[in-house]
Chain A
């Protein structure tokens, strides 16, 4: 089992005829994802050949959703067109299916565009947005699985650990470390590092709490904002499984943006130390050393009686 997606999830690619959309569309199909169509305005009626599969292209999301019965979409369009693409997907899923999953990979969307998107999504309660500026979501299966995003599929394997992260490659690092201690994943969610985004830590934790196949969760945060603190406080009373936490940026100087738009310590707030302290106060197993996330996971599992050593 997994959260939000599985082997059967039918996925559309928004921006399928662009270089990113085509490349990742192919990679997703090779991993086993059910890519059922794509959308590029003005290119409706075309067919894209991706790894031996003929994928139909539509002009609009509503046409694509009604024809293909897709329940999810992944967005690879450039930043200036991304906000309208999210809104179009949200409206189509809302009107035709009552809800759906949107994964936005695009980096560099203006913050105010995202503020407007989030306020629009409040009127579409069945629609879940993951991202933007994220690697996406993946649930490894016994053979392939469902990958909606840009992460390298090959480093993952089916297992019992849930992973939530603000970062891209640092998520891969966490995956590699869980693999090195012999643990696979139920689902890995990259929530993205932008200041204003869709799904947050708490919604992921809630879904993992309710997923019977997830035994433990690794949560990777970074400096900036207070999402980690809020997740820690929430987890104390609502999350019963072993939880391991790491926060990137303990050495980051204040006032400097560390790559991600949201990764900035402002006015002395949003430091790694505050987040680690909040994790500790909530009883989360912390790894202060990012190379010891795997070890921290093992000790959390051992302590919970879920593993011998």
Chain B
């Protein structure tokens, strides 16, 4: 994507096997190559690789510089199929199934650069620092003066003057500054044309000839704009997504997996978060965030409840519905239907409020389902924690 848009990158090859990595090394014809783990998380360079079965440490560092064919083989086999744990993946890590083998580059200096939507300024922010290759959050804390910022309006695009001024602040001059300005202008059009939400280049390097090269980058897209970018589907790596999250998404539900043992089903994102907060305050641990959304129908609610019922970690379920457009009696019928199909053998607490709450409660109470109904948010938190034997 960078290459197509005119942003300078090193030559490189995407690989999924050790053999491919070796032929990539041969074809790049470079004395030095970088062997990089490709996962949807940062901190790879400082991450550790473990054997997924034994849990044994295989190698330190998910991005390696290789000086020979043997080293490429060694690094590629230590990376592929192993679990990479970084600061951003959490302790469970991610299995690496993709590699990028890239020709080496003479590095005169490393910079950090990020482009993102600034929600406070209602504009696109470009943030750059002379401290590349390191953790930007650390730089922000220890030496905020080292981070330089400029903004641009996506309707006008990024002007050369503004890009140039950022290059100046980074201490770039001559052909380095020109090369930086060109890269920024290309990157800005890429950002707006492809509806990105963030582009992070770390490190951005000045090479031996004084030219700027993007050595490594992370790009994230605005999901709301997917309708105008059908090509994104082709970039998708399903193995990076949890099955449940994909399934939930297909039903118009928004689901985030958490570590606890109380499943939640709520309408509305804010109320779903508040429900998790209440569970925690009453001494329990939520197992998920699940917002069924404003347009949920009986089919999607049944699917949502089935997703929760299949989670074997659960010891209890809390349903919290504030009926507006969604009617509580419809939710009640969907719960019954899903429970009949999948089976319910753990405590279920249901809180209904708003549209048709009395009818909803009646439907549940008249069913064979073993369910505790409550009417306030506080009672809901208390009841579910008590039902699973907490305090």
Contact = CB atoms under 8 A, between A and B. Distances in A.
Nearest to B279: A251
A292 B378 contact: yes
Interface string B105-140: 000000000000101101110000000000011001
B12 interface: no
Contact of B324 (A169, A246, A261): A169
Contacts of B227: 79-80
Interface stretch (B23-31, B68-76, B268-276): B268-276
Contacts of B240: none
Give the dominant DSSP class at B's interface.
mixed
Interface in A231-284: 246, 248-253, 255-263, 267-268, 272
A268 to B, nearest CB: 6
Given A112-B195, A115-B153, A291 B273 contact: no
B202 interface: no
A195 interface: yes
Given A169-B270, A173-B322, A289-B281, A261 B224 contact: yes
B322 A172 contact: yes
Given A111-B222, A115-B153, 19 more contacts: A110-B195, A110-B224, A111-B225, A112-B195, A113-B225, A115-B123, A118-B122, A119-B123, A152-B325, A168-B270, A169-B267, A176-B322, A193-B269, A251-B258, A252-B276, A252-B289, A255-B88, A258-B256, A268-B137
Interface of B: 88, 117, 119-120, 122-124, 136-137, 140, 153-155, 192, 195, 197, 222-225, 227-228, 254, 256, 258, 266-274, 276-281, 286, 289, 291, 294, 322-325, 353-355, 376-381
Interface of A: 23, 79-80, 107-116, 118-120, 135, 150-152, 154-155, 165-173, 176, 180, 193, 195-196, 220, 222-223, 225-227, 230, 246, 248-253, 255-263, 267-268, 272, 288-292
26 contacts: A80-B228, A110-B228, A111-B225, A114-B122, A115-B123, A116-B154, A116-B155, A151-B324, A152-B354, A154-B355, A168-B268, A169-B266, A195-B117, A222-B273, A246-B274, A248-B273, A251-B258, A251-B276, A256-B289, A259-B254, A259-B269, A260-B270, A261-B224, A263-B269, A289-B277, A290-B377
